[in-house]
Chains A and B, each alone.
Chain A
């Protein structure tokens, strides 16, 4: 047993002596509440209260400049769903999420597995893959704008080798979303890789060896050993990626400002930002946030089905 055996505090030893043989729910429950309390209270105050406030505001007409508030029932929700721009934003968000999340996750898990081997210079490779995540979006977007430049940018230049006339990328309504998706996948791989790397450390050697002895090749080992054991990590990455993706803002704000060419790349968070800080309409922004919230809740529940039961410790 490699578990360290430091002497438990005196009081606990006395109490523990009585309970050691059958760990009572009491003590564990009390420990649970004590350990949960600081974090959860913090969340409840700083996030819970604003969330409840948002839900309440969604049913009011709150004029933040004039300082007035009136009950509005479902008016805000009716208004936003009557707005075709909102529907476009919802659709764009879904499309964006649909293409960005699975692709980035798949690439990230493969890279993580590759970089988990005993490779020389793997710390450098890992750093390189993580770079997009830690560099501020504004600066990165500048570079991508150059790459997307229709006449002399990298992408169209490469396309011209094949005799293809590249599109106007971020200025073309048909390609603007693709442009942002490309940049987002590129940017999103790093963090996912890190999480998968961390999770991979928890998979014992022996499982791989046993599988090898059984005759499984590297690919088979990946699907039979690695992936299933990455279940909790995959659930995490999926949920977090979905949430992050639905709340994407910066990339769109910088790469395709003000909703993109002819409003083709507006997303939900951008509409919320517009409502809150361009139109000073907190009520509508809150209602839009509630809709976003519901979307995410539903997606998380669905995502839970996908990655299987992970609640069992």
Chain B
């Protein structure tokens, strides 16, 4: 028995070792990244946007325009969802055949750039800042070099019901946390038996990390200090988290479980179950579909969350080029094309998101969307998350920490201090 099995085991072990070695050698492609100077070749594009038949049609249309400009280039798009983007990225990079152009989210640029996955686009941030919103450009910059071009952006802003404000005798959106809380209390409506009917201030409707970061920046705090160490457990951070926790625990302007991000039970503002929210600009599109009368009757208002300073959270999708691309010029051309007016407008129109180009502020699409207009006008207050190469390791630790404070399990100071400790460990490379 043993005699028969040993060769089998050896073969399997050899195969495994070979596999692992293959994976390790998967990084640098045999022919290197140097191109021949002309813009030609067949390039692959990985996109988590433009999904569905409609999305594909939009992209195909844009690619036709690209084809007209660069007849020597063929583009092969691979459609995926944001949810599975990482699986596609990992497998393609591990196999040594990454996509030439990859669209990805803002927080991923520094880690990917640091590890040599992305190509330096050789552009000047200042020059880009003239055409695109500076904050959007920043998301694609790592250590002074531009690795990504912004296409689409999303923001977290304050949203409120003008009619409910009027009913409560409030004339203007809150200008600081104190007013935020006070208005929240006044706007809350409960039935005699205590069941919540209208939440005065909804802080649970968007991702907890993004809600907290918005409040953190508004309180004057920062995610990381200039030396890269965690700065979110500063007094500003604690104030931000304390405010959020107090809204639920003390003011009782909202109950736990009232809503969740991307809730399948619907958008609280559309349903009239919240008078004010730390919300997503996309609520506009959702309200347009679910309760269009709110928009038609101009009952929706926007404000930037403010305390020490006004602050908007900003995320987005950017176009990057693989450092291992066999046709770098063609890939660069495609990336720049995708970040140009036509494709940017088409992509954002399809999804109801914010175009990255300043010139598109006057487009009809933007003019018809109150939330996007508002965001674009206030874009100088936008901040993005991330900025350190270890961001992907730290990012998922925020939600449990913030929720433990919101639920009253830990004090905000404790929760943030613990989180800072975990972040420091991750930054130090464990």
Contact = CB atoms under 8 A, between A and B. Distances in A.
A145 interface: yes
Contacts of B116: 65-66
Given A52-B16, A53-B20, A65-B117, A274 B396 contact: yes
Interface residues of A, number: 45
Contacts of B86: 277-278, 280
Contact of A258 (B23, B117, B399): B399
A310 interface: no
Interface in B22-36: 23-28
Contacts of B94: 64, 67
A243 to B, nearest CB: 21
B115 A66 contact: yes
B400 A259 contact: yes
Interface in A81-120: 85
Interface in A39-93: 44-45, 48-50, 52-53, 55-57, 60, 62-69, 79, 85
Nearest to A141: B264
B115 A149 contact: no
Given A56-B17, A281-B393, A65 B24 contact: no
Contacts of A164: none
B24 A263 contact: no
B147 to A, nearest CB: 13
Given A53-B20, A261-B403, A150 B257 contact: yes
Interface in B370-403: 392-393, 395-396, 399-400, 403
Contacts of A168: 255-257
B394 to A, nearest CB: 9
B288 to A, nearest CB: 22
B13 interface: yes
Given A49-B16, A168-B256, A263-B400, A67 B26 contact: yes
Contacts of B87: 277
B178 interface: no
A250 interface: no
A280 B27 contact: no
- Secondary structure dominating the interface of A: helix
B260 interface: yes
Nearest to A144: B264
B407 interface: yes
Interface string A11-36: 00000000000000000000000000
State the majority secondary structure of interface residues on B: helix
B260 A65 contact: no
Given A69-B20, A168-B257, A259-B399, A145 B407 contact: no
Interface stretch (A169-177, A201-209, A226-234, A292-300): A169-177
A68 B16 contact: no
B358 to A, nearest CB: 33
Contact of B27 (A45, A66, A146): A66
A278 B409 CA distance: 26
B112 interface: yes
Contacts of B404: 262-263
Interface residues of B, number: 44
B12 A69 contact: no
Nearest to B204: A171
Given A52-B12, A67-B27, A169-B257, A262 B407 contact: yes
A127 interface: no
Interface string B306-320: 000000000000000
A299 to B, nearest CB: 24
B412 interface: no
Nearest to B93: A65
A247 to B, nearest CB: 17
A276 interface: yes
A279 interface: yes
Interface in A130-154: 142, 145-146, 149-151
Nearest to A149: B265
B117 A262 contact: no
B19 A49 contact: yes
Contacts of A169: 257
B111 interface: yes
Contacts of A64: 23, 90, 93-94
Given A65-B111, A280-B90, A151 B15 contact: no
B430 interface: yes
B260 A49 contact: no
A62 B400 CA distance: 27
Contacts of B430: 79
Given A170-B260, A278-B392, 14 more contacts: A49-B15, A49-B19, A62-B23, A62-B24, A64-B94, A66-B116, A150-B255, A151-B196, A171-B260, A173-B409, A259-B400, A261-B407, A262-B400, A280-B392
24 contacts: A49-B12, A53-B19, A56-B17, A57-B20, A62-B20, A65-B93, A67-B26, A67-B94, A69-B20, A79-B430, A85-B400, A145-B265, A150-B258, A151-B195, A168-B257, A170-B257, A171-B256, A171-B257, A261-B256, A261-B407, A262-B409, A263-B403, A278-B86, A279-B392
Considering the complex of A and B, which 6 residue pairs feature the smallest CB-CB distances, nearest first?
Answer: A67-B27, A168-B257, A263-B400, A52-B16, A171-B257, A66-B115
Interface of A: 44-45, 48-50, 52-53, 55-57, 60, 62-69, 79, 85, 142, 145-146, 149-151, 168-173, 258-259, 261-263, 274, 276-281
